[in-house]
Chains A and B, each alone.
Chain A
């Protein structure tokens, strides 16, 4: 038995367990959320889930591959508009839509966003660091402008309204559970990817792109594949967003939308699979409840982000992990088998 698995046995309950316990805790709350009286928290919950998926997809680029995208909203928006346009095409004269056409509309967001990511990614993966970030932003702004201006196709600034799901999914709770099911399935899928040999290729790229090439990694193609996966699932998040809000508008492709995902990633912890979901929870809940008390929401969230950046580098999960380590006290040699930077 290798040292690695031996240590995993002894510390199995801690090894990667932060991800797991957060998933269980958060999952339980999310499943039970509609049982509490009132509907508002269900709306917030749906937003947590959809934005959580969006941020998780963005973290494939940042946390795993080490490249931050300031234009990830392009794919969220692409997915949202794909679903919206398909739904409009399927809708009958009074706006009704069947279950199958509705599902097709949602899931078409994946291939269309993937295709968009393939085209945009082809250029972005040629760059790294700030240049990667800026080029991704430029493409998102470009796409935003196209959607904004192409009135005959996208209805421009007005957006596309009346995206009513089929009858059974119109209730908030029903749509919530639908989104929960789809997103949970997607997260399991992404969880597998983030433990695969491919994810270790991404980690090698994050750590040292140059060296990766000399151990046989095709740097650009690996980056592109990851870019397409990230784009595809950002698109699915966008696809779920439209029918939830009953409308889409160009704001979904805007730079603020991308920045929101970045905030969520940094708040939760980019080195953790559930980090972005935790970040989405914090951000969305604060947004939903603080705006009741203050009109200075941007000021408030700005201050909160400042606090996170200065006092909780690596996000809240990283701080929790440090705290658990510290309270466990003594660190034997083999406890080094639970690296600090574990995902």
Chain B
């Protein structure tokens, strides 16, 4: 079975006012894993991602990434350490071209953010082009990101997350708003990244078809708590899951 735990979350708690949005959450991921988090709206999936990436600070608990405590780190250092995320709604740099979007992200990840005198168009270009090709955006390199189609914006969103060769990729509903064709294409790319580059992937998803076909491990969150965790088959068979989540879908 898998080797190192790349992510280990112990006793994570987060409270907004009177509401406990994350409750004693324990979670771990092995290197090379591809896992999904499911749960109804408001289950705390996005909050969990925000806690992992330093956007929110946890009230208590610990997050070990690659053996290092990161719960106290700011977002940019977590990204630099190799945990990046793609957002549910595409969150890009609209007035830069697709290439500039990715190239700038690559440069930031290379630690060149404070390079004042090199030429930006000569650094990290090959890597940026490689990422754009992986994401099937090579034709759109020179398009202003804001003018891309909705589907291509979503691809660029993923491309930004791939800048700097992350170790762990968090995807918040990577196929939301996509056509079945685009969904297949995106999930095939994610599988490819996972298999070819051993990139660890954690995604949230509402589409159960996507979850059960592409995740090797599934975790169900409900009201900020982990209810069930296991292989897709185990989770699918679980009665609690059927009651609180799958049941609602039918």
Contact = CB atoms under 8 A, between A and B. Distances in A.
Interface of A: 2-4, 7, 192-193, 195-201, 203-204, 206-208, 210-219, 222, 225, 334, 336-337, 339-341
Contact of A219 (B76, B92, B95, B129): B76
A222 B113 CA distance: 8
Interface stretch (B2-10, B118-126, B196-204, B220-228): B118-126
A340 B143 CA distance: 10
Contacts of B91: 208, 210-211
A197 B107 contact: yes
B85 A192 contact: no
A196 B119 contact: yes
B117 A200 contact: no
Given A204-B93, A214-B53, A219-B76, A336 B120 contact: no
A207 B114 contact: no
A214 B144 CA distance: 21
Contact of A197 (B80, B104, B129, B141): B104
B160 A211 contact: yes
A72 B105 CA distance: 30
Contact of A4 (B116, B117, B118, B141): B141
5 contacts: A3-B99, A203-B100, A204-B93, A207-B94, A215-B79
Contacts of B187: none
B141 A216 contact: no
A307 to B, nearest CB: 25
B55 to A, nearest CB: 8
A3 B84 contact: no
Given A197-B118, A200-B100, A201-B104, A216 B113 contact: yes
A173 B50 CA distance: 61
A214 B84 CA distance: 7
Interface string B140-153: 01111000000000
Contacts of B118: 196-197
B62 interface: no
A198 B116 contact: yes
A201 B113 contact: yes
Contact of A200 (B77, B103, B109, B129): B103
B54 to A, nearest CB: 8
Contacts of A198: 113-116
A207 B161 CA distance: 17
Contacts of A215: 79, 84, 104-105, 108-109, 160-161, 163-164
Contacts of A212: 93, 108
B76 A213 contact: yes
Given A2-B125, A192-B117, A197-B123, A207 B95 contact: yes
A320 B75 CA distance: 41
Contacts of A334: 142
B100 to A, nearest CB: 7
A337 B108 contact: no
Q: Which of A197, A200, A218 lies at the interface centre, i.e. has the most chain B CB atoms within 10 A of its CB?
A: A197
A341 B138 CA distance: 21
Nearest to B139: A3
B79 A196 contact: no
B164 A213 contact: no
B79 A213 contact: yes
Given A4-B121, A213-B74, A339-B97, 20 more contacts: A2-B125, A3-B138, A3-B142, A195-B119, A195-B120, A198-B116, A200-B96, A200-B107, A203-B95, A203-B96, A204-B104, A207-B93, A210-B91, A215-B163, A216-B108, A225-B114, A334-B142, A336-B144, A337-B142, A340-B144
A234 to B, nearest CB: 17
A197 B79 CA distance: 18
B141 A204 contact: no
Q: Which of A193, A204, A212, A225 lies at the interface centre, i.e. has the most chain B CB atoms within 10 A of its CB?
A: A204
